[in-house]
Amino acid sequence: MSKLAKRSKLKLWLISVLIISGTASVITWVVQTTSDAVVGSLEIQVADDSIRKPIENVAAIEIGERISDLNLSAAAARVSTLPQVRSASVTRRWPDRIVISVDLRQPIGWLEFQDEIWYLDETGEKYLPRVSQPRADLPQFVAGSDKLLLAASTAFFDLPKKLLDKVARVTAATNSNIRFILTSDVTIIWGSAERGERKSEVLTVLLQRKAKTYDVSAPDLPTIRVN
């Protein structure tokens, strides 16, 4: 095949692609702007079914509503105002489906703030879930400031994995005085949030001996107290 023939074939292929793409775009535009283009179904993608209805309510997207009237960014912003929601997106799916995708916060503990129960997520940020009682499986965090709260949550994730669900209370009186009280009434003196990996390694070894207090605040000179 000559170079000229190859070029002609390539041009025809490119023109075909452009025509197909343009036709699809026109069809999409027509469906979305015609008065007959309405929301046929609403799909909510979220890990926790208990928040599905609140998401639907605050999104305020009705079945039968004209697609051209929807402000998807505004709907996503409304969903994001729910305290449990970290982020949300709202998209159109061909031909008449609206999909709301929601990423939820993952609570690691709770605290008392402004006379209410707040949750602490995995980033160390607190949020108000509007619950009268905290979840029984979550530890309580006590800290004098948001900075100390962040340090405490950082230290929490540095604990040996097997201890995470055994922590009843986390306190951070100062930057260098973070402590964990386990459900067995055992106390772990962690110190600052620094050298977390090393402290976790040392604590794992110390836990082989039964004690009431494990002090890894100075991980190179750890101590235990049996009483």
What is the pTM for the complete model shown? 0.73
pLDDT at 6 over 80: no
| CATH 3.10.20.310 is right for the domain spanning 27-104 | yes
What is the rounded CA–CA span in Å between residue 44 and residue 56? 8
Residue 20: predicted pLDDT: 56
Quick: pLDDT tens for 86-96: 999 999 998 89
Going by pLDDT thresholds of 50, 70 and 90, the confidence category of residue 26 is: very low
What tens digit of pLDDT does each residue of 159-216 get? 999 999 999 999 999 999 999 999 999 999 999 999 999 999 999 999 999 999 999 9
Ranges of each domain in the chain: 27-104, 107-225
Cα separation, 217 vs 177, whole angstroms = 8
123-143 per-position pLDDT tens digit: 888 999 888 899 999 999 999
CATH topology of domain 107-225: Rossmann fold (3.40.50)
pLDDT greater than 70 at residue 226? yes
